[in-house]
Structure 1
Amino acid sequence: MTHAPNTLLVNPTITSRGSARFPLSLLHLAAALDRTGTSRIVDGNIDRDVVGATLRAIETERFDAVGISVMGGPQMAPSIAVSKAIRERFPHMPIVWGGYFPTLYTDTALSAPYVDYAIRGQGEESLPELMAALGRPDRDVSRIGGLSWKHDGDVVHNPGRRFSLGDSGIVLPYGKLGDPRRYLAPTFLGRRTAAHQAAIGCRFRCTFCGVAAMFGGTTALPAAVRLERDLSYLKHGLGADSIQFFDHNFFDREEDMVPLLEVMAKLELPWWCYARSDALLNLSESSWKLVRKSRLRMAYIGAESPSGAMLKEIRKGTRPDQTLEVAELCRRHGVIPELSFMVAPPQNTEEETLHTFEFIRELKKINPQSEIIVYIYTPLPEGSKHEKDRGKRASAPLLDLDGEPVIFPATPEEWTQKRWVDYACHADAPWLSDDLRRYIQDFVTVLRCRFPTVQDLRSPPWAKRGLSAMASWRYRGRKYDKPWELNLANRLVRLRLPQVSGL
């Protein structure tokens, strides 16, 4: 290959066109690839025929490899479909999988005949190095950090690569998306909400978290000048009036956050982010003043459990009393806490679930505006954890309802089965009984009808008030079982589900 490498980057369909946000991971990869070559992006959330759009791109332009971003859950099936179509039509085209799925399940990804290379963790350095290697006569990829590949039928895992934020001066090539304004969407934050990621990674090592498995407890914050440049472009260049931050944990150490909060306070764009209760509780009054001026509307906080023992077991690093405190703190400062909980753990499944429901009720008394997200606790397999964390804590084996060990899928195709899509989306688990599954669903129905989310712009206010009134007696009396009238009303109103659709 004497020419500069050209890479096709594909984001398989994972959401509706109306819910599409900037494919930030591919934009970062494109910026890195374009330093030594060229790239093009196909976004399946906009180009609904992602297979056809990908094949047309390869037919009309010469590419040296196709990089596909793959996340578990609903993105698995379209990822497989586009990979198979490329392999069938262009059998010699190298196919590279990157993102959460091949990072967590590398051997599973490479078991597929349509995946040639898998990048573990960040790809901004590994993918350009792979593209350069594919252009050399020997095609030697053995020294590329973070890369896994096939050699004579065996899977080879190169050593991991150190985490890096990369060039702080990077400018994302939004122009590769056509008209980037079509990614701005109406949300409760504003009429034209833009997605952005400032920091990458998280310095905490929660054992259940894919971010910890991918980044190994490291994080990197942007320079304030870069954040101001990026957000100014979104605001003044594209017309964004609000920001949804995709940072894995926006609030880190206060001294590092103050310069970023000053930028946000200057721009005054209403925003949403992920946060931790301990980080928010540790902010000084002067920093909270900046938070208020910056117009933070909602913070998504992983409360996870009211059990101190469970929080310690999963290495969360927070306590139940901090969850209660942060709900009150957010109320005082005009920030809505969006608190997520993981119910139905493998041990003490029913007891822990009922305890969590009572804790949620206590939270709603402290701050009725608290938004509650309920997930099923679905821990990562031991082999999917970051290499730093594997084997460090002896945890009880995962058993299904029959007491048999849970066997995770060995192929990408198996991960498309509904039960494993649900597992990846924290919607079901093999140890969950039908009765408890139904009880959880009924509780969530009563809760979300009694306290409709502010994120729901579709349902008229009168309908939400009516549902709240209908659910009040059930919530007050803890009568969650078989809320048939709420299920019937929901067919007409169809309240938004943040845990499914996000903002």
Structure 2
Amino acid sequence: MTHGPRTLLINPTITSRRSARFPLSLLHLSAALERTGSSQIVDGNVDRNFIDDSLRAMEATPFDAVGISVMGGPQLAPAIAVSTAIRQRFPAVPIVWGGYFPTLNTDAALGAPYVDYVVRGQGEESLPELIAAIGRKDDAKLATIGGLSWKHDGAIVHNPNRRFTLGDTELVLPYHKLGDPRRYLARTYLGRRTVAHQAATGCRFRCTFCGVAAMFGGTTVLPAAERLERDLSYLKHELGADSVQYFDNNFFDREKDMVPLLEVMARFELPWWCFARSDALLNLSEHAWKLVRKSRLRMAYIGAESPNGQMLKEIRKGTRPDQTMEVVELCRRHGVIPELSFMVAPPENTEEETEHTFEFIRTLKRINPQSEVVIYIYTPLPEISRHEQDRAKRPGKPLFDLNGEPVVFPTTPEEWAQPRWVNYTCHADAPWLDDKLRQRIQDFVTVLRCRYPTVQDLRSPSWAKRGLSAMAGWRYRYGRYNRPWELELANRLVRLRTPQVEGL
């Protein structure tokens, strides 16, 4: 009796157990693989012994291949560790990397001795085709698989990109493969049992700094309303979810496409959080906003990025600073908290642009004090990581460090896993940032988050947050951010939630 190919899917550790959410990419891959074979999932976010457990699973079952999902930043070192351990113990089993890191750094990933194949971008069609070709040892078939990069006679081969699709609309995610799916429901600002879900795939915008744009190449695919209704019904009635965190890269796109989905969500009335754009929210009709209110949108994460209109044009953001100011007022009227992300310390006019952003944030806080603010360092993608169409149309500017030397990006996974490049990937530091400005940014963030503690913080007691806010009041009012030692001391005791690190 044939069982079809067996695949082990691994999600290396990237967050705490408390912050673990469904490994949605692996669930989608597992559902696709089940059509012609079988799969098993090991999730390092809930299983701290995931490397040993992966090896034990491979000892118990003869897997045809191992697929590992790899984000850049903190997930890279665990991905290297599990790949190395598997290669040493099971040298003949092919290892496939997929996800953002190998898509954006394909040559670096395939240069590693423990990576045999890279699936770039979406894998629901490419991975099953690859597993089948591996089983038949069919190199001719390998050359036809879209979105695949592989090694042939010592050389790296990049097959053409694959078009993105939502695939089978009847696809049901195999949540049971995670053990008890309810352990992924978390207490958040939205509710006591918040669930993670992704309805749409991709983003049709092409921001030059964004890994989503590089991975999806300006494509958005939305689901059928029937599929969203089936998914929400399972999450609410079977798992007991009382709120939803949507991981869609850009939830609000075109209203005509969104209204059928909003109508479904309005029937379920599950409080929700999502990514959004200021222009999309401003363009919504009153009818759409009525559905948004009925569906109980609580918070929208909006990429404001910069108060500099010219910079927004250069990074192809597609929005304007005045739209950011309008949207915080619009959200206030509709009872939605705007969570605004900003990128400070760009490579040019670094200090001036940073101070300009600080003042813009203060202006937005005056318009809507409930606005949440998340501050990152502006770290553009390496030129080689940008989508090939965008590189051809609009080459990026060269980047230089503090000494005026060109920034040289890593060429191996091990180099990318070094702390300085993990910080770069996570928008926490940049080679052109000096100690003085780095401290200035840190001090501003300390004063701001003490003056306006995030509503997402359910851990700190209300009295402590009120006390910190009062302590920070004079510093914020007069712009005295330098060395807020008393706030740092108090925060060691209170430990306010940091949205940059501890999002929903």
Equivalenced residue count is 503
Q: Deviations over 1:325-344 (max 9, x none)?
A: 00000000000000000000
Residues in 2 aligned to 1:208 and 1:2: alpha-carbon distance in whole angstroms: 47
Question: Which runs of structure 1 show a deviation greater than 6 angstroms over 4 or more consecutive aligned residues?
Answer: none
Q: What is residue 373 of structure 2 aligned with on the other side?
A: 372
Residue aligning to 1:412: 413
> Which residue of the partner structure matches residue 398 of structure 2?
397
Alignment-derived partner of residue 18 in structure 2: 18
2:28 equivalent to 1:28: yes
1:138 deviation in Å?
Answer: 3.3
Q: What is the match of residue 354 of structure 2?
A: 353
Q: Which residue of 1 aligns with 2:270?
A: 269
**Residue 157 of structure 1 pairs with residue 158 of structure 2:** yes
Q: 2:113 matched to which residue of 1?
A: 113
- Specify the alignment match of 1:192 in structure 2: 193
Report the equivalent of 2:87: 87
TM-score by length of 1: 0.99
What's the CA shift string for 1:15-42, capped at 9, x where partnerless? 0001000000000000101011100100
Give the equivalent residue in structure 1 for 2:37.
37
Contact 2:68 2:96 in 1 (8 A): yes
Asked if 1 retains the 8 angstrom alpha-carbon contact of 2:383 and 2:396, the reply is no
* SS of 2:62 mapped into structure 1: coil
Question: Unpaired segments of 5 or more residues in structure 1?
Answer: none
> Counterparts of 2:104 and 2:137 in 1: how far apart (Å)?
31
- What are the superposed Cα offsets for residues 223-247 of structure 1, whole Å, 9 maximum, x if unpaired? 1111011011000000000000000
1-structure distance, mates of 2:415, 2:483: 33
Listed one character per residue, the Cα deviations across residues 287-321 of structure 1 (whole Å, up to 9, x for unaligned) are 11111111100000000000000000000000000
The answer to whether the 8 A contact 1:104-1:214 is kept is yes
Question: Which residue number corresponds to residue 103 of structure 2?
Answer: 103
Amino acid at match of 2:345: A
Q: Answer yes or no: is 1:168 the counterpart of 2:169.
A: yes
Following superposition, the deviation at residue 151 of structure 1 comes to 1.4
Counterparts of 1:308-347 in structure 2 under 5 Å? Answer: 308-347=309-348
Q: Distance in 2 between matches of 1:111 and 1:139?
A: 19
**Deviation of 1:255 (Å):** 0.8
Offset, 1:137? 4.0
State the TM-score, normalized to the length of structure 2: 0.99
The 2-side partners of 1:144 and 1:391 are apart by 24
Q: Which amino acid aligns with 1:476?
A: R
User: How far apart in 2 are the matches of 1:402 and 1:391?
Assistant: 29
Written as runs of structure 1 = structure 2, the 5 A alignment for 1:39-58 is: 39-58=39-58
Alpha-carbon separation, structure 2, partners of 1:241 and 1:366: 31
C-alpha separation in 2, matches of 1:384 and 1:307: 25
Partner residue in 2 for 1:67: 67
Give yes or no for contact 2:251–2:275 (8 Å, CA) kept in 1. Answer: yes
Q: What SS class does the counterpart of residue 498 from structure 1 fall into?
A: coil
| In structure 2, C-alpha distance between the alignment counterparts of 1:51 and 1:137, rounded to whole Å | 28
Q: 2:115 is aligned with what amino acid?
A: V
Q: Could you tell me how far 1:210 is from its partner in structure 2?
A: 0.4
Q: Is the 8 A contact 1:2 1:135 kept in 2?
A: no
Contact 2:7/2:38, CA 8 A, preserved across alignment: yes
Matches within 5 A, 1:197-236: 197-236=198-237
Seq. identity, %: 80
1:456 equivalent to 2:461? Answer: no
How far apart are 1:139 and its partner, in Å?
4.3
Q: Deviations over 1:432-469 (max 9, x none)?
A: 00000000000000000000000000000000000000
1:293 paired residue number: 294
* The 10-residue stretch of structure 1 (152-161 or 314-323) with the greater mean CA deviation from structure 2: 152-161
Q: Find the aligned partners of 1:317 and 1:230 in 2 and give their Cα distance.
A: 32
Residue 3 of structure 1 deviates from its aligned partner by 4.5
Q: Aligned-residue CA RMSD in angstroms? A: 0.9
The answer on whether the counterparts of 1:382 and 1:391 sit within 8 Å (CA) in structure 2 is no
- 1:411-451 superposed Cα distances (whole Å, 9 cap, x missing partner): 10011111000000000000000000000000000000000
